[in-house]
Amino acid sequence: MFSITEFPLPFNESSLMPYMSDTTLQFHHGKHLATYIKNLNDLIVGTEYEAMPLYEIITKSAKDQNAKKIFNNAAQVFNHNFFFKCLTQNGGCTIPEIITSSFGSSETFINEFKTAATGIFGSGWAWLVKNNDKIQIITTLNADTPIAHDIKPLMTLDVWEHAYYLDYQNRRADFIDAFLNNLVNWDFVLEQIK
């Protein structure tokens, strides 16, 4: 069984202020992620998924029409844990050259990522991914995740309202700017590229 302690925040809850409040993180990590973990644990009891690691649960349940609830909760556990690893105090700043060269410039990357993230209708995720050795930006809706499609995630931004509403209300674009300019853990992103 999975527990919230298996997916700890990689920083102190107050360390991302003023760009992300401790209250947002208490709800986002301590409530939303914890609920996905509890739901997943409840759903896999007595099934073939019960003894599987998270990654395998996601890739197998993505192809199983009878396991949509399992997939949704497992993918949300993965997506959230990955998102929190993409955040750091004093992040943003200089975008690594391997990323800027993939898009032509840092400005192009930022504009394309912002366009993708603001363009998601409803709830979802904006991703920087490596797909067949090409670095690109994609979006997924709801709980969908690149690993369900054999695509390697490098970075993600959660644009479900619970990720930003307490701090930014309906100003998703401001949240995206804060993420790109101040919160991205580029060291973590570079580790994923290798």
| Pair 35, 102 in one domain | no
In this prediction, residue 105 carries a pLDDT of 96
Dihedral class, residue 41 (left if φ above 0, else alpha if ψ from -120 to 50, else beta): alpha
In this prediction, residue 79 carries a pLDDT of 98
Residue 13 lies in a domain: no
In this prediction, residue 93 carries a pLDDT of 76
- The number of folded domains in the chain is 2
Rounded to an integer, what distance in angstroms lies between the CA atom of residue 109 and that of residue 65? 36
| Pair 116, 186 in one domain | yes
Please report where in the chains the tokens 């990590």 appear, as a residue. 29
| Pair 118, 176 in one domain | yes
| Pair 53, 112 in one domain | no
Residue 35 lies in a domain: yes
In this prediction, residue 170 carries a pLDDT of 93
Q: Residue 135 is part of a domain; what is its CATH number?
A: 3.55.40.20
In this prediction, residue 73 carries a pLDDT of 98
Bridge partners of 130, per DSSP, are 135, 152
pLDDT digits (tens, 9 = 90+) for 25-34: 999 999 999 9
Which parts of the chain have pLDDT scores under 50?
none
Please report where in the chains the tokens 């644990």 appear, as a residue. 41
DSSP notation for 19-66: TS-HHHHHHIIIIIIHHHHHHHHHHHTTSTTTTS-HHHHHHHHTT-GG
In this prediction, residue 92 carries a pLDDT of 84
In this prediction, residue 91 carries a pLDDT of 93
| Pair 103, 181 in one domain | yes
| Pair 32, 111 in one domain | no
Residue 9 lies in a domain: no
In this prediction, residue 194 carries a pLDDT of 84
Residue 121 structural domain: 97-193
pLDDT digits (tens, 9 = 90+) for 171-193: 999 999 999 999 999 999 999 99
